Structures are given as structure tokens and as C-alpha cells.
Amino acid sequence: MSVVIKRADESQLRDLVRLISEFWNEVATCASLNGFEPDSGKIEAELLEFLDMPDYAVLMATTPKGHPLGFVSVFQMPVQLREEPYAILDKLYVRPDYRRRKIAHQLVEEAKFFARSRKCKRLQSTFPAHFALPDALAFFRAERFYETGGRKHKLAI
């Protein structure tokens, strides 16, 4: 399957809001929060605030014809004294019908590229504390993220 990954902009807002709503619905289901409904208006407002920020990116995977497949959000953390620059891989989502086709891998590769372009030395992600995501954990391990204690997973880039 041919996949196009680009930094999202306002022209993709509707599709991105739908993907993020699907992401939150899946997280809510894993957390046994039945009946949860994401607030698409709030998601849209927050996206509009962040999409133009230079240190924040939402990278969207689509088919060549523009059908949305998934996304990853990544941002650079402000550097503290004596700390190397790093980026946070905030959210990663691929629609269920398109999983196991290397799309998430491609999204992570683009997130690494973005982080490197910001002079970051590592990529970090944190897993939820109150419920397990075994498939996500297996994916991150396969991508060579290592556990650093608690729920944090890091990858040197």
C-alpha cells in the first residue's frame, strides 16, 4: 500500500479531528470508559492553536488520493540546564483496518526526522498508568524504544 506522510495543516483539519476522535474513543474503550464522546469542537480549537507552532508537528498518513490512515503528534521539549534536547511522541494512531501495514513505523520514522531537525537527541513517549496497551507496548519495543522506569519509553535518535 502506498502511503503519503506530510505535516498536517488547516486544509486537513476535518480529517484530523476525525482521526483524533477515533484515537480518544479507542483510549476510552481501553480504559473502560463506556459512552465517552470526544469534543470535536475542542479538538479543532486546540489543533488550530498548535498546527502553526514550529516546535510541534502533527504528521498525517494518507493514501495518495488523500484518504486519512493515521497520525502522529510530536513536539520538542524545552531544554533544562544540563539536559540534552529531546522530543515527545505524544500520540500515535493508525485506523484499525490499516494496522500491520508498516504505517505506524513510517509515522515514527517521520517523527524521528522532525525531532532530529529540531536538534533533539532522543524521542520519548509515556504510556497510561491505569490501563494496559499491550499491542502499543509491543510496537514500541519493536521500534527499539527502551523502558526507563515507570511508564516512560525512550529512543535515541
Pairwise pLDDT comparison (17 vs 32), residue with the higher score: 17
Q: Is 3.40.50.1000 the CATH number for 4-156? A: no
H/E segment holding residue 7: strand 4-7
Task: Domain ranges for the chain, please list them.
Answer: 4-156
Q: Mind listing the pLDDT tens digit for each residue in 92-149?
A: 999 999 999 999 999 999 999 999 999 999 898 887 766 667 778 788 888 888 888 7
Q: Is this model's pTM higher than 0.75 or not?
A: yes
Any residues with CB less than 8 A from the CB of 24 and at least 6 apart, and which?
36, 38
Q: 44-80: per-residue pLDDT in tens?
A: 999 998 898 989 999 999 999 999 999 999 999 887 7
46-32-95-73 Cα dihedral, nearest 10 degrees: 30
